[in-house]
A and B are shown apart, each in its own frame.
Chain A
């Protein structure tokens, strides 16, 4: 059986650059993305599909925001934190966003160190990312609790359009689920780095496919995507 260089890092044949290169790749045999492994290609396509899901959620939110007959609650008041005497509009959300964006940074570092085969540092950054992600989810739980105690329900709220609660719980819930799954997989990847599975090419539990340090990067693709989606949710839901 041929030596498997799944990740394509071995394949460095001289290729034309620019559009000609793209055309040449797509006209070639075997594979169209010359430097993407199967796993990476699959993650990209999955993310494309997921983009459509989040887009539909956001477009649905915008539509009901227009169709509802009651006024939309003022988000800078609803999402304000009351500390001491003053109200800080959007404070919690600002922190959450900061946390999540930072986690993208630590994730990128983890990918970098993974390719250098620096296991210890990779694990540190993977765990950092997981902790930041968990913090995000925790703060989201806090925000949900706060709103629920203030009387926000999927079907009603004290300040106006009932669609506010509905879209809020649905969209942040769906995104939070993505983050939660991300944290779980970060922990699994960290464990596998720690045990050296990627050095030995140990088979994965689910895919029965040999592990590779590229998995850290694939994990990263997902994580960055989840962060990016958050930016849109933040902009369209909290700032608008």
Chain B
């Protein structure tokens, strides 16, 4: 066990991290709108991300309606379908998940969990949100631009992305998408630098890196990765923008379109794929690592047991983060790569399974003989483990070149990544909201609505995505608006498609219960008190709930132990907060 009890000779060093001089808001505007308080910024980020996420949800309904009942909805033309697919994918991955995990949970939890008063540069942090909002607005604008949003697929592969055959390719769609991504990256960088520096340089006394809750480790590592991965996307976007607007040929080979020779020539479409996936694969872990971290904390708290193998968990996060930079080309097995490269990337891909499996084992071992409370957050955390394992297993299939080649671009891939990076992280987000909502508002979310929401979402997600594996295995390609009478497609696929659509609609509407719960509980939720889950980490030990600007009142907390002292024998309670010096008396250990 790590740092379980402070030793008698443990001395907490004197403060070397200065007090943050907070900017104290003077008006309503600077308190609630242009706020520099990370907690307000977090809520702004989360609110915006969820709002745009709802758009993506509606788009998924439209797609499912078309797939389930082809020909019924005349307004869903093939072009419209491509646009829905593209915007759905991009919004979900970037504008919802990335923004919510890093901008939302990162902002809320990092300063509280490491015992800081705020992010190190609150003003830049505030700018980050407003730039993000601008990116979202530009994205939304593309829905209203002439020609509509881009339909290039969320991967935006050239040359098709900027040709006239693709919706938005020769109109505003693709331009607005690229500009929005560039703005997003700029905004994210402002926030990301803050999160990283706050973790490495802004911790409170006694908070060593190896005492941080895994949530912080997950978000921190993901942010570092994002700061190194987004540059590739940034460059790809700039180059494609030039190809589209200036007529350069970075990604464009010589082309004949509708019998006409285009003025492009000599560019490399594969270059785009490399840049995109050098960003794209780490991106998968940028949304997965925060989820890993959060889920570890949920499980430990709600099973009243210390996390199993804390050190291993930390190293697994870091190793996964590092490895994920050398696997990107497993998304390009069918791009005509040299087989040796395929071999290399398949190997690195499969190696990632090791630290990932370690994490799964450790979660299970944490649960083992724990005092499991099936609270709503715990239900979501457990559902995450199951779902993640599920998606991880199909990942092993797709990681192998020979298996991937026939499965590539089928609904099997769609099922795989929805399990592993769609459903799994979303389940964690729900769990985390149920878990931390009491800290943010002082009230509990309604339990009964929560359970209803959980079961419909969990069972429904499997109803949607399990059959999709089969649909993919029989060869139904992805991004096809309709299947027609292709002979190789058995009748069962059509029935399943209708079934999936109905399930998707039900799951979608269940989310409205969740939204209602959030607003309803603001007023009518049960009073939560400061620490309803009896958790150890610092955010639950704030003097006031919800924590005010500056978080800690007069004095920042001093940390004596790791975040996982649950059910310690002989302790007065079944949890010992991180700032509790038990078994020592306070003043003795505080001496510098």
The answer for the CA separation of A69 and B123 in the assembled complex, in Å, is: 49
**Do B247 and A41 touch across chains, with their CB atoms under 8 A apart?**
no
- Residue from B15, B124, B265, B278 with most neighbouring chain A CB atoms (10 Å): B265
Asked whether B146 is an interface residue with its Cβ less than 8 Å from the other chain, the reply is no
Q: Which residues of A sit under 8 angstroms from B122, Cβ to Cβ?
A: 208
Asked whether A81 is an interface residue with its Cβ less than 8 Å from the other chain, the reply is no
- The total of chain B residues at the interface (CB under 8 A) is 60
Asked whether B235 is an interface residue with its Cβ less than 8 Å from the other chain, the reply is yes
**Do A4 and B200 touch across chains, with their CB atoms under 8 A apart?**
no
**Do B200 and A69 touch across chains, with their CB atoms under 8 A apart?**
no
Q: Which of B205, B227, B235 contacts A60 (CB 8 A)?
A: B235
Q: Which of A5, A154, A207 contacts B248 (CB 8 A)?
A: A154
**From A208, which residue of chain B is reached at the shortest CB distance?**
B23
**From A70, which residue of chain B is reached at the shortest CB distance?**
B266
- Residue from B36, B204, B249 with most neighbouring chain A CB atoms (10 Å): B249
Q: Mark B207-221, 1 if CB is under 8 A from A, else 0.
A: 111110000000000
**Do A41 and B231 touch across chains, with their CB atoms under 8 A apart?**
no
Closest beta carbon of chain B to A216's beta carbon, Å: 18
The answer for the CA separation of A206 and B23 in the assembled complex, in Å, is: 12
**Do A56 and B275 touch across chains, with their CB atoms under 8 A apart?**
yes
Q: Which residues of B sit under 8 angstroms from A208, Cβ to Cβ?
A: 23, 36, 122-123
Q: Which residues of A sit under 8 angstroms from B205, Cβ to Cβ?
A: 29-30
**Do A29 and B267 touch across chains, with their CB atoms under 8 A apart?**
no
The answer for the CA separation of A167 and B21 in the assembled complex, in Å, is: 45
Q: Mark B184-210, 1 if CB is under 8 A from A, else 0.
A: 000001000110110011111111111
Asked whether B38 is an interface residue with its Cβ less than 8 Å from the other chain, the reply is no
Asked whether A155 is an interface residue with its Cβ less than 8 Å from the other chain, the reply is yes
**Do B266 and A162 touch across chains, with their CB atoms under 8 A apart?**
yes
Q: Which residues of A sit under 8 angstroms from B275, Cβ to Cβ?
A: 56, 60
**Do A31 and B17 touch across chains, with their CB atoms under 8 A apart?**
yes
Which residues in chain A, 49-82, are within 8 Å of chain B measured between CB atoms? 49-50, 52-53, 55-57, 60, 63-64, 66-70
Asked whether A91 is an interface residue with its Cβ less than 8 Å from the other chain, the reply is no
Given A52-B232, A53-B235, A166-B250, answer yes or no on A67-B15 (Cβ-Cβ < 8 Å): no
Q: Which 9 A-B pairs have the closest CB atoms?
A: A68-B266, A52-B231, A166-B248, A67-B268, A56-B235, A155-B247, A4-B18, A53-B231, A38-B120
Complex A-B: 25 CB contacts under 8 Å: A2-B15, A29-B12, A29-B203, A29-B207, A30-B13, A30-B205, A32-B209, A38-B121, A39-B121, A42-B193, A42-B197, A45-B193, A49-B189, A49-B227, A53-B234, A57-B235, A60-B250, A60-B275, A69-B254, A69-B265, A69-B266, A155-B263, A162-B265, A166-B249, A206-B124
Known: A27-B208, A46-B189, A209-B21. 19 other contacts (CB 8 A): A1-B21, A27-B209, A30-B13, A41-B200, A42-B197, A45-B196, A52-B231, A53-B234, A63-B271, A64-B250, A67-B266, A70-B265, A154-B248, A155-B246, A163-B249, A170-B239, A207-B121, A208-B23, A208-B122
Show the binding face of B for A, using Cβ within 8 Å: 12-13, 15-19, 21, 23, 36, 120-124, 189, 193-194, 196-197, 200-211, 227-228, 230-232, 234-236, 238-239, 242, 246-250, 253-254, 263, 265-268, 271, 274-275, 278, 559
